[in-house]
Structure 1
């Protein structure tokens, strides 16, 4: 897979994770200089 394609895929996945996230965080895990994992932690606020 080319670098451009990898970045496009990463961008699409990040956008999908952030699309409906109201409260929380997205973590990017890196090993040996490469992104190996994306984590999404969502909080539910009770008002």
Structure 2
């Protein structure tokens, strides 16, 4: 990682960057899915959450392998 970029994402002592709290909230709200953090020029510019909804198949409910 570029040392200058690393300096930009290190929070000031005793504070957290706003994006970190957004990531934490999204992760806590997901059951299945992923969080993607988009970085431009060493700064977080976008956070995307993809949530999946899973359904049990009749085989799963009967304990049989799929």
1:28 aligns with 2:37: yes
Q: CA deviation at 1:29?
A: 0.4
Moved over 6 A (4+): none
TM-score relative to the length of structure 2: 0.57
Q: Which structure has the bigger radius of gyration?
A: 2
For structure 2, list consecutive stretches of 5 or more residues without a partner in the other structure: 1-10, 57-66
Tell me which residue corresponds to 1:45.
54
TM-score relative to the length of structure 1: 0.76
For structure 1, list consecutive stretches of 5 or more residues without a partner in the other structure: none
Matched residues, number: 44
CA RMSD of aligned residues (A): 1.6
Higher relative contact order (CA 8 A, sep 6+): 1
